[in-house]
Amino acid sequence: MIEPARGTRGMAVAPHGLAAQAALAVLRDGGNAVEAMISAASTIAVVYPHMNSIGGDAFWLISVPGEPVRAIDACGAAAGAASVAAYAEQGITGSIPFRGGPAALTVAGTISGWDLAHQFSTTALAGRLPLTRLLADAIHYASAGVPVTRSQNANTRSKLDELRNIPGFAQAFLVDDQVPATGSLFRQPRMAATLDHLARVGLDDFYRGDLGASMARDLETAGSPLRRDDLTAHRAHWRTPLELAHSAGTVYNMTPPTQGLVSLLILGMLDRLGAAGMDPLGADFVHAAVESIKQAFRIRDRHITDPAHMKVLPQTFLEPGALDTLTAAIDMGVAAPWGRGKGPADTIWMGVIDDEGRAVSFIQSIYHEFGSGIVLPTSGVNWQNRGCSFSLDPAALNPLEPGRKPFHTLNPALARLSDGRTMVYGNMGGDGQPQTQSAVFTRTILQGMTPQAAISAPRWLLGRTWGRASESLKLESRFAPAVVEELRRRGHDVELLGEYDETVGHAGAIVRHPDGALEGGADPRSDGCVAAW
C-alpha cells in the first residue's frame, strides 16, 4: 500500500508532477494557496497540453478559515454570432462539430479566473508575488521544453486522424510531422512568448489588449464565430457555491452551469444509504453509488443549464426532504434502467492548502482532447470546444444562443468537516467526475481510508468518458470476481477495464487536520504527485 504524502507547511496535488512542484515552490517563496494555484494552473497548461490549455475554461473554490467558501466562475459564453440559424446557414443542422472553427464558439474563460483570483490574493490575502514569478515555471517549460508523457503521446496518436488537418494542430503538436515520442522534449515557443507577455502586461490583455486583438483575428480566420467584442465583454465572476449538509460536515461544489449539484446529490444519497458501514471495495457500496448516480443524472439532465435560464434553484435539490425522496427511489437489490450520459471530456483537477489553512480546489479544461484542435498561429493558444455541449434544437435544455453559457461537466469539490478537517478533492473525466468524487470522499471521510488509498483503490465508471463509447458500468479489474458477479446479478451491464485504467480519470485529494497536519493522495493512473513541505 502506498502511504499518503504528509506535511505541515503546505501541500499541492496535480495530475502532472511539475505542476504540483511549481505550486510548492511558490508556497516556499512565501506565496499563499491562491498564488500557488495560479502557478500550477499555468504550468499544467504547458506540461499536460492534451488535457487543458489557456484557451479553455476554469472554476475555483477558495476556503479561507473563518470566512465563507467562495467560488469563481471563469466560464466563457457563446459568441454573439453563434446561433442555431447561423449554423444552419453553414449547413450544420444535426449537432455542432467537435473539431475545427465551428467548434471554437465559446470564449476561453480560464485566464479571467486567474486574474480575479490574483486580485483577491493581493487585496484580501496580502499576496505579494508578481505574475512574472507565478508564471515563471510555465514560461520556462514552454520555452526550454518538457518531456512528453505517455498520456500525451497516446492521446496525440489516437486523435491524429481527426485533428491533423485542423488549423494549427500539426504545427503545434507534431514534431517533423510525427507524434512526439514519450520522453522527448516538447517545446512550445509561441506559448512561452504569450505567457511572458501576459506576465509582463497583465492577464486582462488576453481579452482587452493586444493579445485579445490578435486572437480574435486568428479565430475568425480559422472559421470560429468568435469576434473581438466577445472577448472584451467577458468577465469572470464570484459565486456562492452550493452546499450539502452532510453527516460529516459541509460539502461544497460549483454552481450551474456545472454539474456540481450532481456530485453533492450523490454524496447526500450515499450518506442516507449508510455508506459509512459499507465495504469500500464491496458490491453494496458500488451499487449504492451507481444507483445514486442515476438519480442525480436525471436531475442534471432535466434542469442544469446556464443559471440565467434555469427555472428552479439548484440548492433546493439539496434540502433534506428532496434528498430523502431521491434516496427512497433506490433499490439496493436491483439496478435501475440506465440511458445515456453526457459523454467524454478531458480536464485537470488540482488542489493546494497552505500553512494558514487556506485551501483551493481548482479545475481547468478544454473539453475533448485538444479541444477544438485549433491552435492560433500568432499566440499558440489551443482553443476549447466546450460549445459542443450546446444543442441545435431550440427546444432543448441547452440550446445554442448568443451569449449563453454552455453546460459544464467540470466541478471542483471542497469540504469543511465537523471534526475540524478541511478537504479539497476532485478529478477529470466528464460523467466520471462526480462518480470518482463520491468514491474518494466517502472512502476517505466515512470509511477510514487514507486519501492515497482511497484514490488508488479500484474505481468504476457508469457511461461514457474519454476514449470510451459504451454506456456500460465499467469496473477496474482489481475488483474481486465475486463483487463483479454480484453486480451483474443485480442487473448491471458490467464491462471490465485494466487494473489502473485512465478511463476512470485522474483524481487527487488533500486533507488538513485540526492540528495543521496535511496528508494527500495523487492518482497512479496519471503523471501526478503530491508535493509537500
Residues identified as active-site: 347
Alpha carbon separation from 24 to 21, 124, 137, 280, 532 (Å, rounded)? 5, 21, 12, 32, 7
Task: Please spell the DSSP secondary structure of 274-334, one letter per residue.
Answer: TGGGS-TTSHHHHHHHHHHHHHHHHHHHHH-S-GGG-SS-GGGGGSHHHHHHHHHT--TTS
Q: How far apart are CA 193 and CA 200, in angstroms?
A: 11
* Closest by Cα among 293, 337, 279 to 435: 293
Phi and psi for 59 in degrees, rounded to 5? -140, 145
Alpha carbon separation from 419 to 230, 263, 415, 447 (Å, rounded)? 46, 22, 11, 15
Cβ 431 vs Cβ 464: under 8 Å: yes
Q: How far apart are CA 336 and CA 118, in angstroms?
A: 46
Q: Is the peptide bond before 394 cis (omega within 30 degrees of 0)?
A: no
Q: Is 272 helix (H, G, I), strand (E, B) or coil?
A: helix
Cβ 352 vs Cβ 12: under 8 Å: yes
* Closest by Cα among 24, 11, 71 to 513: 11
Cβ 519 vs Cβ 450: under 8 Å: yes
Cβ 350 vs Cβ 37: under 8 Å: yes
Neighbouring residues of 202: CB distance < 8 A, sequence distance ≥ 6:
115, 131, 209
Q: How far apart are CA 352 and CA 334, in angstroms?
A: 40
- Which amino acid would we find at residue 197? H
For cell 488538513, the residue is: 512
